[in-house]
Amino acid sequence: MQTRAAVVREINQLTVETVELDAPKANELLVRVHAAGVCHSDLHNMRGELRLTPPFVMGHEGAGIVEAVGSGVTRFQPGDRVLVNWLPADNTCPTCLSGHPNLCERLAKTTFLGLLPDGTTRLKTLDGVPLKHLLSAATMSEYAVIDQAGAIPFPADVPFEVAAIIGCAVATGVGAVINTAQARAGSCAAVIGCGGVGLSAILGCQLAGCYPIIAVDVLDSKLEFARRMGATETVNVKQIDAVKTLRARTRLGPDYVFDTVGSAATIAQALQAAAPAGAAVIAGLHAARSDVPIPAGALIFQNKRLLGSFAGSMRPQIDLPRLVELYRAGRLQLDALISKRYPLAEVAQAFADMEAGAVARGVITFQ
């Protein structure tokens, strides 16, 4: 079949074009996509800053309705509403069995290379060029084929847009707080970077009972979004020193500093700003392929912890349904996180708005 999709044929070349999509094979689903989140990770891949190389179809946050199923599918049937879990773990490797399915050993050989779990692709251009599936998902397309391990069912009272962003931004930000840091109620927290993941981390800090919650960014527009999402204080680091300010506004520094940027500068800031015996939690990807110097004295003499948080340390089959239920219960205000919707034809503008700080979270919607 044919589908309209956001395609990257070369690094930094994003187009919307019609492509060919093969039918689902064993253990796979054909999903008609209703919403796809616009995430900075997509941009990193388009720019060649992560492992995936072109050509590929963009998108890894998504939600839609199952249209057809391949052989061996036992958990889903046509008509089911599903959100995309872009970490389709095998749940058989030692890493999965030790409680870390977000680090499944299969992912490096398939998902991070833009392949489905069986090591192949279902996409190609009309002129026959094979296309990879970004993070085994490729959700910026009218239709997508995903493994059944990459699907999570959700109820009809949850909007497709909300379900889509739960699959990455919300899981990554909330998970950094709840899963990785295991933040305690009454503790002080700071969040560096107020994009979709950072705003989700602020929601996670609220959920954990942190106070105060200090948002840090270089754009006033993003800090305004942070206040709307529950930050009690804000710091614009273009105007004042982040580390000195965070220490001054707390007793000796925040108990937890969540870095959702992940650059060399912000990683150092997070570790330096954290209180003695506190934790710096790194969830951003900007320096993912770089060597970053770490001030060892802060770790040794002040007993600080430096924690990595990949995808919120989530266990997708457990945590994603829990996040859906927290939204349904009114504990996660995710409707406010979605500030603009775009048709697929405006995907380039959606990324431009994200970089400019004009949106909290943008979502591609399909009619």
Segments making up each domain of the chain, as ranges: 2-153+334-365, 169-310
Give the phi and the psi of residue 174 in degrees, each rounded to 5. Answer: -65, -40
pLDDT digits (tens, 9 = 90+) for 243-294: 999 999 998 999 999 999 999 999 999 999 999 999 999 999 887 778 888 8
Report the C-alpha gap between 229 and 221 in whole angstroms: 13
Supply the pLDDT for residue 287.
Answer: 76
Report the C-alpha gap between 195 and 285 in whole angstroms: 13
Supply the pLDDT for residue 176.
Answer: 98
Mean pLDDT score of the chain: 95
> Burial level of 337, CB count in 10 A (0-12/13-18/19+)?
buried
DSSP string, 192-215: E--SHHHHHHHHHHHHHT-SSEEE
**By the 8 A CB rule, do 337 and 202 touch?**
no
CATH class of the domain defined by 169-310: alpha beta
Q: Global pTM? A: 0.95
Q: Domain 2-153+334-365: give its CATH architecture.
A: Alpha-Beta Complex (3.90)
Supply the pLDDT for residue 186.
Answer: 96
Q: How confident is the model at residue 367 (pLDDT cuts 50, 70, 90)?
A: confident
Across 49-158, where does the E strand assignment appear? 56-57, 63-69, 81-84, 123-125, 130-133, 143-147, 151-153
Supply the pLDDT for residue 288.
Answer: 76
pLDDT digits (tens, 9 = 90+) for 2-34: 999 999 999 999 999 999 999 999 999 999 999
Percent of the chain at pLDDT > 90 equals 93
pLDDT digits (tens, 9 = 90+) for 336-352: 999 999 999 999 999 99
Pick left, alpha or beta for residue 97 (phi over 0 → left; psi -120 to 50 → alpha; otherwise beta): alpha
Q: Which residues of 136-156 are buried (b: 16+ CB within 10 A; e: fewer)?
A: bbbbbbbbbbbbbbbbbebee
